[in-house]
């Protein structure tokens, strides 16, 4: 059992430590006892047996003690220690044999007192040795056997009752001590075992804790660090760079077509796109580049190279965008998710994590709006824009919108009859403080500050009210914000407002942009179905500016497509014409009406006529005007292309 236990590495190391403390003491004890014996036999025994042996013994004990005192246990392997312990056992046997032999031999000299000294020397020394070798029981047992047995055998034939009594008594003490040593060693082994178990438990707890921290900071899908980690590193960067007075950059990367991919090819494909994006981003990570998934299809990068100029930061972000833009195999097909980036540089764009992140987010928003697929660095111009956007938001919140909002109407002409068949309602806001605010600006502001629901319904009510002043055959086209379609509450309110107006829903077309579908395709589609069920029609506005693939349009229940006005500029040349021709073909194939927006010149109108486009809208036909001006038009009985 003992040898088995010895196999335990931790145990042998501990044994060695204990022995290192005790063996030098053991040698000291041997020397002192030997000196005492020598001194009582000096006069009666030959000098070589007293002083001679003492000197040799002292030399051996000194050398061995020095070795023990100087040995470096930490530098030894358990195997080496095991070899040393075996050697210690052997040496113990040799020294013990020498000692007992020497003592017995000295027993021949001197009188009864000297003989009694020999007996007590052997008894005391053996007890001392056994104690000192407590942590190496094999050695303690060897000492006990080598001393105990010859000791008794040596004295019994002497017939000296005192010496026999000492010998038997010593033997008995040795036996008891052996028992004590074994018990003690067992406890020692158990202690080492329990310490080892405790240490293992502590290691495991430590490992679990570290794993927990890692998991809490990792995104499970992409295995990139997560938002929490990102903001922690951002805070650290701000603290360090603030002290150094240096600059660093924070960039947000957002996939342009992730929602469409997810909606079209399913979540598995979407997950693959995110995982691959994560893998590609990891290639950029390093000591000075922190990458993380912030959530959804948004990724964050912190560029900590202090020496980098704005141009270098921009170039790095372009490289990242380029990498993320590369096609991704999602199993059934290969997709390109596209990527835009917004960047803010510390400290000019912001000194706090929230401030800096907001600025990068704002720059991203601009990239999406104005330079899709590109990188936008936050600039002082953006700061001004933010300030004026805030002014618009504040004005929206405190103004009397009912009084300040107005709806203008722009006619839509049917080229097959040359008559106006519809009007598009366009919101107009004149604020006492800000003056005229363009609708795209205040609509976006209303979306940001949560006022869009209220504003849409207010404008719809006004538009429906004004529509009553126009002939019954004139339809109304009304713009919805992307937030409206994904808010079931707004959709229900729209239906209620139409019902209350008593205008047939069939007269009404709701225009929506692709952004609404990108926000939440399923919810948007459900809203579309509900509105169509009531008899209203749905038009996809600004077609061609977004990323609508033809298949994507097909999946929606649409009635109309409005070709964005940006295509009108090029309609005179071949390539521009062919794009419009393709969209017209598509709408015909899908049985959708097609309206060309932004028609400004007779040449554009002529080109559209030639291409077979039926509905047109633009300054050439008529600019947006208040309802009374439109009303007058019908009163003059010439509601044709003479409005502008």
* DSSP-assigned letters across all residues of 320-335: HHHHHHS-EE-SSSEE
Question: Which does residue 143 bind out of Ca ion, ligand C2E, none, counting CB within 5 to 8 angstroms by kind?
Answer: none
426 binds ligand C2E (CB under 6 A): yes
| Neighbour-count burial of 339, counting CB atoms closer than 10 A to its CB (0-12 exposed, 13-18 middle, 19+ buried) | buried
565 binds ligand C2E (CB under 6 A): yes
Q: Beta strand pairing status for 298-303 and 375-377?
A: unpaired
Cβ 343 vs Cβ 371: under 8 Å: no
Q: How many residues does the chain have?
A: 644
In three-state secondary structure terms, 381 is helix
In three-state secondary structure terms, 224 is coil
Quickly count: other Cβ atoms within 10 Å of residue 383's Cβ: 14
In three-state secondary structure terms, 448 is helix
**The pair of three-digit structure tokens given for residue 418, joined into one six-digit string:** 């040359």
Interatomic CA distance for residues 416 and 608, integer angstroms:
12
DSSP assignment, residue 410?
E
558 binds ligand C2E (CB under 6 A): no
Question: Which does residue 148 bind out of Ca ion, ligand C2E, none, counting CB within 5 to 8 angstroms by kind?
Answer: none
Tokens 């380029």 identify what position?
322
Interatomic CA distance for residues 294 and 499, integer angstroms:
43
Cβ 543 vs Cβ 564: under 8 Å: yes
Nearer of residues 314 and 542 to Ca ion, judged by Cβ: 542
Instruction: With contacts defined by CB under 6 A, name the span among 96-104, 265-273, 433-441, 576-584 that binds ligand C2E.
Output: 433-441
Question: Which does residue 426 bind out of ligand C2E, Ca ion, none, counting CB within 5 to 8 angstroms by kind?
Answer: ligand C2E
Instruction: With contacts defined by CB under 5 A, name the span among 75-83, 367-375, 535-543, 624-632 that binds Ca ion.
Output: 535-543
485-514 positions binding ligand C2E, by CB under 6 A: 511
Instruction: With contacts defined by CB under 5 A, name the span among 103-111, 122-130, 236-244, 542-550 that binds Ca ion.
Output: 542-550
604 binds ligand C2E (CB under 6 A): no
Nearer of residues 314 and 541 to ligand C2E, judged by Cβ: 541
x-or-dash pattern for ligand C2E, window 379-418, by CB under 6 A? -------------------------------x--------
**The pair of three-digit structure tokens given for residue 513, joined into one six-digit string:** 């942009």
x-or-dash pattern for ligand C2E, window 607-626, by CB under 6 A? -----------xx----x--
Nearer of residues 320 and 426 to ligand C2E, judged by Cβ: 426
Interatomic CA distance for residues 559 and 541, integer angstroms:
11
541 binds Ca ion (CB under 5 A): yes
Out of 144, 341, 479, 515, the only residue in the binding site for ligand C2E (CB under 6 A) is 479
Nearer of residues 19 and 392 to ligand C2E, judged by Cβ: 392
589-618 positions binding Ca ion, by CB under 5 A: 597
DSSP assignment, residue 565?
G
Interatomic CA distance for residues 22 and 198, integer angstroms:
27
Instruction: With contacts defined by CB under 5 A, name the span among 196-204, 336-344, 429-437, 472-480 that binds Ca ion.
Output: 472-480
Interatomic CA distance for residues 215 and 209, integer angstroms:
10
Q: Beta strand pairing status for 334-335 and 328-329?
A: antiparallel
x-or-dash pattern for Ca ion, window 428-467, by CB under 5 A? ----------------------------------------
Cβ 420 vs Cβ 617: under 8 Å: no
State residue 536 phi and psi, 5-degree precision: -80, 160
Question: Which does residue 440 bind out of Ca ion, ligand C2E, none, counting CB within 5 to 8 angstroms by kind?
Answer: ligand C2E
Helix (H) or strand (E) holding 436: strand 435-437
In three-state secondary structure terms, 627 is helix
Instruction: With contacts defined by CB under 6 A, name the span among 146-154, 415-423, 516-524, 592-600 that binds ligand C2E.
Output: 592-600
438 binds ligand C2E (CB under 6 A): yes
Smallest separation, CB 220 to ligand C2E (Å): 38
Helix (H) or strand (E) holding 233: helix 227-244
Smallest separation, CB 613 to ligand C2E (Å): 15
Residue least distant from ligand C2E (Cβ): 618
Interatomic CA distance for residues 411 and 607, integer angstroms:
19
Out of 347, 600, 601, 634, the only residue in the binding site for ligand C2E (CB under 6 A) is 600
x-or-dash pattern for Ca ion, window 492-531, by CB under 5 A? -------------------x--------------------
Instruction: With contacts defined by CB under 6 A, name the span among 91-99, 159-167, 261-269, 425-433 that binds ligand C2E.
Output: 425-433
Q: Which residues bind ligand C2E (CB under 6 A)?
A: 410, 425-427, 438-440, 443, 459, 479-481, 511, 541-542, 565, 598-600, 618-619, 624
Q: Which residues bind Ca ion (CB under 5 A)?
A: 479, 511, 541-542, 597
């Amino acid at each position: 059992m003992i040898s088995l236990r010895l196999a335990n590495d931790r145990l042998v190391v501990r044994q060695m430590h204990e022995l290192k403390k005790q063996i030098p003491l053991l040698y000291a004890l041997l020397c002192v006892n030997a000196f005492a014996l020598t001194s009582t036999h000096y006069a009666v025994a030959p000098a070589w047996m007293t002083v001679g042996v003492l000197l040799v013994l002292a030399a051996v004990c000194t050398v061995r003690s020095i070795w023990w005192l100087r040995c470096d246990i930490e530098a030894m392997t358990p195997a080496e220690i095991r070899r040393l312990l075996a050697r210690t056992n052997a040496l113990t046997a040799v020294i013990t044999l020498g000692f007992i032999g020497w003592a017995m031999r000295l027993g021949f000299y001197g009188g009864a007192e000297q003989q009694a000294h020999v007996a007590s020397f052997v008894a005391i020394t053996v007890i001392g040795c056994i104690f000192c070798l407590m942590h190496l029981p094999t050695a303690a047992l060897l000492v006990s056997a080598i001393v105990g047995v010859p000791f008794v055998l040596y004295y019994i034939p002497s017939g000296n009752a005192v010496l026999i009594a000492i010998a038997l008594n010593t033997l008995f003490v040795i036996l008891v001590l052996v028992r004590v040593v074994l018990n003690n060693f067992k406890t020692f082994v158990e202690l080492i075992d329990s310490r080892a178990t405790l240490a293992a438990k502590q290691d495991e707890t430590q490992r679990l804790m570290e794993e927990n921290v890692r998991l809490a900071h990792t995104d499970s899908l992409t295995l990139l660090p997560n938002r929490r980690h990102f903001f922690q590193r951002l805070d650290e960067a701000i603290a360090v760079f603030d002290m150094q007075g240096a600059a660093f950059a924070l960039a947000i990367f957002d996939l342009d077509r992730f929602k469409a991919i997810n909606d079209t090819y399913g979540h598995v494909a979407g997950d693959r796109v995110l995982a691959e994006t994560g893998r590609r981003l990891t290639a950029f990570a390093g000591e000075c580049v922190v990458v993380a998934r912030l959530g959804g299809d948004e990724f964050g990068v912190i560029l900590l190279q202090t020496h980098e100029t704005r141009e270098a930061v921009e170039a790095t972000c372009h490289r990242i965008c380029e990498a993320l833009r590369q096609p991704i195999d999602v199993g059934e097909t290969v997709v390109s998710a596209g990527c835009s980036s917004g960047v803010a540089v510390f400290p000019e764009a912001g000194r706090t994590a929230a401030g800096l992140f907001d600025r990068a987010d704002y720059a991203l928003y601009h990239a999406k709006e104005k330079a899709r697929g590109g990188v936008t660095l936050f600039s002082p111009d953006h700061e001004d824009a933010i300030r004026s956007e805030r002014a618009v938001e504040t004005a929206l919140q405190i103004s009397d919108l009912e009084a300040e909002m107005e709806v203008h109407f722009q006619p839509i002409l049917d080229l097959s009859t040359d008559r106006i068949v519809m009007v598009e309602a366009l919101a107009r806001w004149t604020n006492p403080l800000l003056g005229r605010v363009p609708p795209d600006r205040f609509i976006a502001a209303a979306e940001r500050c949560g006022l869009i629901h209220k504003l849409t319904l207010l404008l719809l009510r006004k538009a429906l009210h004004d529509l009553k002043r126009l002939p019954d055959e004139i339809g109304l086209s009304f713009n919805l914000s992307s937030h409206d379609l994904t808010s079931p509450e707004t959709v229900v309110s729209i239906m209620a407002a139409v019902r209350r107006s008593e205008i047939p829903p069939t007269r009404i077309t709701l225009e929506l942009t692709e952004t609404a579908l990108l926000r939440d395709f399923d919810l948007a589609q459900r809203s579309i179905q509900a509105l169509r069920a009531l008899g209203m029609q749905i038009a996809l506005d600004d077609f061609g500016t977004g990323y609508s693939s033809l298949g994507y349009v097909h999946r929606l229940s649409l009635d109309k497509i409005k070709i964005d006005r940006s295509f009108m500029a090029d309609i005179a040349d071949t390539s521009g014409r062919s794009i419009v021709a393709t969209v017209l073909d598509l709408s015909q194939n899908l049985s959708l009406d097609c309206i060309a927006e932004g028609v400004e010149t007779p040449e554009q109108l002529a080109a559209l006529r030639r291409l077979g486009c039926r509905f047109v809208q633009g300054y050439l036909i008529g600019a947006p005007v208040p309802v009374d001006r439109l009303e007058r038009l019908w009163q003059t009985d010439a509601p044709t292309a003479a409005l502008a």
